[in-house]
Structure 1
């Protein structure tokens, strides 16, 4: 192979996969991943094989966007059949682990009647031995608590499930990640390696640091055919933006959805990275605009539009610390974000509410995040109050403003906010859309539909701004960007309730003298430091 020093193409994309499905938190963290495998992915593939044409047409129908339709053409039915057969054969231990969880929860529901729990332990399935504790809450309701670090060391976590697909961004929307497995393709480089493989760090660092094809071939353990495909992902010159770093003052750049980059000459802080690889498009920031090093990456919560595996993996070697909210430890629906990131080979620290991280000229404070998770007991969620460049910035993510007094306490503790960023997806997906595979005691559809993953409406957003004393507030785009439909699968029109609520909120801001805006694609704020 040539010894010419080359760079990774700026428009290369990567999809980390688990048994060919997109490696979101709930498809990778072992406890919910086994449940999703057994109770969503296998039934989904079974359904496809019964009616492949119906699934494919449903996946392409705008009315069913975000629905569970497998977007694979009928001519590739045999490949889906082979994938399903391999899953049933090779993942029997994982399927049995999920079934054991369902059995154990039934045992607890029926046997934990307020009395001593010790007699229940011998009745639990052997697959869970040493991995769960049964405990009552103060209402005398019992539940299982998983020893998640140990589950990562058990048969329930199998790195051989993991692979990575690399290709070139075409600008054509990829199939919806929650429903459609990624099959092999002649124009895709498939790497059957775990996400933490050191070769992936070498690959993605080659965006900013040239290397040779031979060095990458060795690092990634490629055969001849794979090495030939890799050559198509390398170019002789980078396309890095000259202004990706800040020489003076302070700057915030909006990268789309909930992704912000805050920079001074001393520090760079990014929130919920979701970066476009389509460098041929205009009006957006891409990997070409990313600084060579990020000091901190803040994750607000584990939904797949905020904890984005295809972006996270490409940050290998370029981030000092990932900051994530602490989980409740052991809750089936609340897997650890830190363990998930570490499985990708990424450095992560956990923070509780009002924990502080200081840096030259500022600090990051984790603040509470209410709602948005369909009323489930999920604690791995945080908003952030950031002091940087002489300004205070509030990153509200999808916090739904359930109790305005919370933000009064935040203001008392930390001071007023100069700039606030909020999510206003105020009519989100129902409980079952994300969490149905984890519910071993199913609930009625009407109940599920009443419990939505919703951010703030106009009234709640107005209360947040009032209590924080924010001078400026911006609502981030809610999946409106064209390049993230494969994850968001959202559709809006001028009559959409969410957009009407944003317009009502902006009118309120105008009447109150608060500067506001509804963000889309890219935006930038500059100021001089005091």
Structure 2
């Protein structure tokens, strides 16, 4: 078997981990990772150890789905205790850096009163030395600007935190990624390698191009036991779908949540890839249905359900480039996706509003993204306008219609869209659900609940369509597909506000002769 030409089996998945917590941008980018480790993950582990049974019970309560509870059986509490001890020991520098950020912010609040900030530099905690600049905005509000490229070269960014687990998709929902660390398991292969390790690229390219076990053993630096586990993940035949390419016209496929695959015979574009590996399910497109080469992956924003390392790592080596929006540079709430992905070994193109990226036979234009980020000063978000095979497609993700005149400017600049894909998660989670670890000043529950991760409601979605003038509208990015549960933890029923709003919008479209739909599972458009 060592020299046979082999393919990776369809159901193989990877879970990228950072100190055993699931990796997403705010646990990889060093400033935000330090804050989340110190002020969210360590307290979460401590809370679990005080009452494991409470965490497990809460994790299995449908009404608390998506809450910050660790779903690890009480008999494994000693392993969680060891994890916490290792974090406090091995990540002490990161924890001190997070504390220094909080102290630096407090220093500014107490002393930055509109006068010269130079005297404050010597008073900053030493952990911040050379890594921040103090500045006022034009309203005399002081802030620290983090020098992100420098911080990636410092001890704050530690690749030793990274590892991956390889296993098979079982169809059983995995624990919620934001709360439950992944402990070792007999059915999981542990690889203590960073995400940028070239061996991972070699492994996942074997979905479309065969290789040998010997090659993978060398590429991944496996011992004999590990090589034996990898051998069980290989097959003599590929699992690829015969219709993954097209030979004429254009095609769009909905792969679930916010993932669209746009194709012509010459090119393929994928938005926010979050793709199932369960090829036996039969009710969805999977990794087997992707084209062999993807010219561009476009990422709309840095939330964990739109930039999904679990999928992206499996595509590295098959991507021309990942297109990401430009961040605001050094803002605590707005890490650079470009820096983060480049440090994981991805080719990246960074865009601002109305920047264009060409691909064979078409182009992508970055367009503005409004709202959805709890009113935080986050610039790293973009919608996209795709032009291919004679159609114009607006990829709207979770952008809101709170100011519909924005979309009038888009139409003036780019023309009329043929199809619009809109997110209508219009009653999203509150500010503290996703950003608690970054807040150095407490906010009240009432304040947090007023600032939500919400897309458009029916009225706002209708306003977007009115301004864009599109002929077709499709609601997506609702997190409804069951295979997304470990990331989304979304629970809807027929009386849920979001679904009522979707129905209201679809009725609005029908009354105006606009072709519309509420996407779920899979769908295909051909022209």
- Report the TM range for the smaller structure's normalisation: over 0.9
Contact kept, 8 Å, 1:271 with 1:297, in 2: the verdict is: yes
Supply the distance in 2 between the matched residues of 1:15 and 1:266 (Cα, whole angstroms): 32
Q: Distance in 2 between matches of 1:464 and 1:240?
A: 38
Whether 1:427 aligns to 2:436 is no
Equivalent residue for 1:26? 26
In the alignment, structure 1 residue 96 sits paired with structure 2 residue 101: no
Structure 1 CA distance for aligned equivalents of residues 44 and 363 of structure 2: 45
Deviations 1:398-448 (A, max 9, x none): 001110100001000100110000000000000000001100111111101
In the alignment, the residues of structure 2 paired with residue 263 and residue 102 of structure 1 have an alpha-carbon distance, to the nearest angstrom, of: 47
- Listed as ranges, the matches of 1:319-334 within 5 Å are 319-334=319-334
CA distance in 1: counterparts of 2:61 and 2:339, whole angstroms:
37
Give the Cα–Cα distance (whole angstroms) in 1 for the partners of residues 354 and 44 of structure 2: 42
Partner of 1:511: 511
Q: Secondary structure at the match of 1:428?
A: coil
Aligned to 2:115: 115
Moved more, 471-480 or 63-72: 471-480
The question of whether the paired residues in 2 share the 8 Å contact of 1:300 and 1:325 is answered with yes
SS in 1 for 2:401: coil
Q: Paired residue for 2:379?
A: 379
Q: Is the 2:10–2:288 contact (alpha carbons within 8 Å) kept by the matching residues of 1?
A: yes
1:507-527 Cα shifts (integer Å, max 9, x gaps): 000011100000001000000
Is 1:6 equivalent to 2:6 in the alignment?
yes
1:76 match: 76
CA contact (8 A) 2:257 2:477 kept: yes
Q: Is the 8 A contact 2:69 2:180 kept in 1?
A: yes
Structure 2: gaps of 5 or more residues: none
Q: Is the 8 A contact 2:134 2:144 kept in 1?
A: yes
* Distance across 2 between alignment mates of 1:379 and 1:41: 26
Aligned to 1:414: 414
Cα distance between partner residues in 1 of 2:507 and 2:442: 42
* CA deviation after TM superposition for structure 1 residue 477, in Å: 4.7
Q: In 2, distance between residues paired with 1:442 and 1:218?
A: 50
- Contact kept, 8 Å, 2:324 with 2:338, in 1: the verdict is yes
Q: State the TM-score, normalizing by the size of structure 2.
A: 0.99
| Partner-residue secondary structure (3-state), 2:436 | helix
Match of 2:453 in 1: 453
| Cα drift, residue 230 of structure 1 | 1.2
SS in 2 for 1:435: helix
Question: In the TM superposition, what whole-angstrom CA distance separates every residue of 1:364-402 from its partner, at most 9, and x where no partner exists?
Answer: 110000000000000000000111110100001000111
Distance 2:57 2:428 in 1: 24
Equivalences for residues 467-482 of structure 1 within 5 A = 467-482=467-482
Is the contact made by 2:397 and 2:477 (CA closer than 8 Å) also made in structure 1? no
SS in 2 for 1:357: strand
Any residues of structure 2 matched to 1:227-242 within 5 Å, and which? 227-242=227-242
Shift of 1:2: 2.3
Equivalent residue, structure 1, for 2:356:
356
1:360 to partner: Cα distance: 3.3
Partner of 2:302: 302
User: Hey, what does 1:365 align to over in structure 2?
Assistant: 365
Alpha carbons 2:159, 2:194 under 8 Å: kept: yes
Contact 2:459 2:505 in 1 (8 A): yes
Instruction: Specify the alignment match of 1:140 in structure 2.
Output: 140
Contact map agreement 1:274 1:305 (CA 8 A) in 2? yes
Determine if the alignment matches structure 1 residue 487 to structure 2 residue 487. yes
Residue by residue over 1:458-517, the C-alpha shift from the partner in whole angstroms, topping out at 9 and shown as x without a partner, is: 000000000000000000151110101000000000000000000000000001110000
- Counting matched residue pairs gives 527
Counterpart residue number, 1:44:
44
2:10 counterpart SS class: coil
Determine whether 1:391 maps to 2:391.
Answer: yes
SS of equivalent residue, structure 2 residue 310: helix
Counterpart secondary structure, 1:166 = strand
* 8 Å Cα contact 2:372/2:453 also seen in 1: yes
CA-based RMSD: 0.8
The corresponding residue for 1:195 is 195
C-alpha distance in 2 between matches for 1:63 and 1:358: 46
Counterpart Cα distance in 1 of 2:143 and 2:383? 28
Q: Could you list the per-position Cα deviations for residues 222-268 of structure 1 after superposition, in whole angstroms to 9, with x for gaps in the alignment? A: 11221121112111111111110111110000000000010001111
Q: Contact 1:477–1:520 at 8 Å: present in 2 too? A: no
Q: Distance in 2 between matches of 1:114 and 1:45?
A: 40
Matched with 2:260 is: 260
Q: Secondary structure at the match of 1:252?
A: strand
Whether the aligned pair in 2 keeps the contact of 1:416 and 1:468 (CA below 8 Å) is yes
The residue matched to 2:2 in structure 1 has which SS? coil
Cα offset, 1:6, TM superposition? 1.2
Q: Is the contact between residue 369 and residue 399 of structure 1 (CA under 8 Å) also seen in structure 2? A: yes
SS of residue in 1 equivalent to 2:202:
helix
* 1-structure distance, mates of 2:291, 2:163: 27
2:393 counterpart SS class = strand
Q: Hey, what's the Cα distance between the residues in 2 that align with 1:233 and 1:91?
A: 33
* Secondary structure class of the residue paired with 2:195: coil
Q: Is the 8 A contact 1:401 1:461 kept in 2?
A: yes
**1:65-116 deviation line (CA, Å, top 9, x unaligned):** 0000000000111110111111011000000010010010000111100000
Paired residues of 2:398 and 2:477 also in contact (CA < 8 A): no
Distance 1:489 1:522 in 2: 20
- Kept in 2, the 8 Å contact 1:431–1:453? The answer is yes
